[in-house]
Each structure stands twice: as C-alpha cells, then as structure tokens.
C-alpha cells in the first residue's frame, strides 16, 4: 500500500522562500521520504519558465519594481506567468514512477485537480487544444508548469481564484500576447477565496496524486500542432534517476 500524500500549507510566502521548501521536500523524497503537496499563495511575482526570456515582459523592470512585483527565473517548463494574492498554487513533490505516473499523465492529473476544484465552486472548466492548463469559455483559469528531476516532480499548478487579472497584461502569458485569462471570481463565484478552497484542494489533491488513474477524458494530444503557448512533452515513462524533464504552459 502506498503512503499517503503529505500536505503543507505555507500561507502567503515569497516565491524564493517557497522554492526553498520545495527543494527541501525534493531532497527528502529522493532520500526515501514522503511525497508532499505544498499549497501556497504568493505575493505579486512574475516567473519566467525555461522557454521564456525577458522579452516576455511587456513593461520595464523599473515599472515592475515600482509596483512591487518581483520577477524570477524558474526551472519549470513553459513561458511567463503571474502569481499573486488570490491565486492557489500547488507544488506536488512526488516520485512519479512509484505512483504509476509518466510526465504526461502527471500533467493531466494536475489539470484534473483544477477541473474538480472549479466544479466545487460551481464553474465548468475543461482542457483545451490551445495547450495545457484549464479553461472556461472566458479564458484560461489555471496553468501547469513542472520540472522532473531524478524522477521526482517540482513546481506544479496555479489556479486563479480572486487573482488580479490585470497583472497578466504585464506579460505575454504562456507565450501568447493577449491570451484571455479568467478567475473563479470573474466567473461569478461569490463568496470565494483561497482559504475557502483549501479543504477541497487538500482532499482532491491527496486523492488525485495517490496513483495515476486511467483518465476517461479527452486531453489535447501532446504532439499536436499548437501555438507557441504550448511547451508540451510527448507521452513517456517517468524519467530515470539522474534525468530531467519539464512540461508547462
């Protein structure tokens, strides 16, 4: 029987500080410790994934600094994204092969967590051929960006709950200018907050991450001809020890 997923809520935590917690959990898992799902809310931060450059920013560093928005390079897959108050971020630190995941099925699981969380709030979210993440008819509701190092995942998902959507105009989100974004609040959910979603997030994440399920849903094919927003990975087994993989949008 597989050990349960540990759950850690960090509250509102700077990106670099939460990354240090991820790295500590990753080292512990590589040493035989427990799989852990970290939940956190970040202060205003733009992260640049492995495929992003400073050209993804649509404003100057000086303007970002004046608005109190950090800009951080990240080893996760994908392009640029925004994190901030009102966004629920989950970082599952999971040994993929031990739970039957490949990279593609793990990304699909992270999407499923967001779809189920949105449903808890009464919002219908879905996958979309434009790339990974989850969407409503009004735009992209949640993003996925991961890194797999020595078979253990880092980074994860970000679901817009009451996020300041205007902040996405500061970047080319997911590598696409003018990409529509939405949040649970923008979808009309009242009342809603990260704190209100946490119990459901914990329950759904623990169950979904426990083992790779045979998904009966239609997901975008990982080798589809998608726009530049998609930096996807072909279906494959979990990386071997000493190897790395990434996926994100």
Ordered by where they begin, the domains of the chain are 6-248 (3.30.930.10)
Contacts with 72 (C-beta within 8 Å, 6 or more apart), sequence order: 15, 16, 45, 46, 47, 48
Let me know: does 84 contact 169? Beta carbons within 8 Å: no
25 carries an active-site annotation: no
CA nearest neighbour of 223 among 236, 212, 213, 214:
236
Residue that the structure tokens 């989950």 belong to: 90
Which residues, 6+ apart, have CB-to-CB distance to 96 below 8 Å?
102, 103, 106, 148, 151, 152, 153, 238, 239
pLDDT at residue number 77: 85
Helix (H) / strand (E) element for 198: namely helix 194-209
Q: Which of 37, 71, 108, 174 is catalytic?
A: 174
Query: Tell me, what's the pLDDT at 108?
Result: 95
Q: What is the structure's pLDDT at 218?
A: 43
Strand pairing class (70-73; 45-48): parallel
pLDDT under 70: residue ranges of the chain: 1, 214-249
């Amino acid at each position: 029987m597989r050990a349960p997923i540990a759950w850690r809520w960090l509250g509102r935590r700077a990106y670099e500080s939460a990354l240090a917690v991820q790295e500590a959990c990753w080292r512990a898992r590589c040493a035989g410790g427990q799989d852990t799902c970290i939940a956190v809310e970040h202060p205003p931060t733009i992260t640049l994934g492995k495929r992003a450059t400073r050209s993804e920013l649509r404003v100057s560093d000086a303007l970002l600094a004046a608005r109190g928005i950090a800009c951080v390079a990240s080893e996760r897959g994908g392009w640029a994204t925004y994190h901030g108050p009102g966004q629920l971020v989950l970082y599952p630190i999971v040994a993929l092969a031990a739970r039957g995941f490949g990279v593609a099925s793990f990304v699909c699981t992270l999407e499923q967590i967001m779809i189920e969380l949105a449903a808890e709030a009464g919002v219908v979210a879905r996958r979309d051929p434009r790339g990974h993440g989850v969407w409503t008819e009004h735009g992209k509701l949640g993003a996925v960006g991961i890194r797999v190092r020595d078979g253990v995942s880092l980074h994860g998902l970000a679901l817009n709950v009451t996020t300041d959507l205007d902040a996405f105009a500061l970047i080319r989100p997911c590598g696409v200018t003018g990409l529509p974004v939405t949040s649970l609040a923008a979808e009309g959910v009242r009342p809603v907050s990260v704190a209100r979603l946490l119990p459901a997030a914990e329950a759904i994440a623990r169950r979904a991450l426990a083992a790779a399920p045979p998904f009966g849903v239609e997901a975008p094919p990982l080798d589809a001809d998608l726009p530049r927003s998609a930096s996807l990975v072909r279906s494959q087994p979990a990386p071997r020890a000493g190897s790395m993989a990434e996926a994100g949008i």
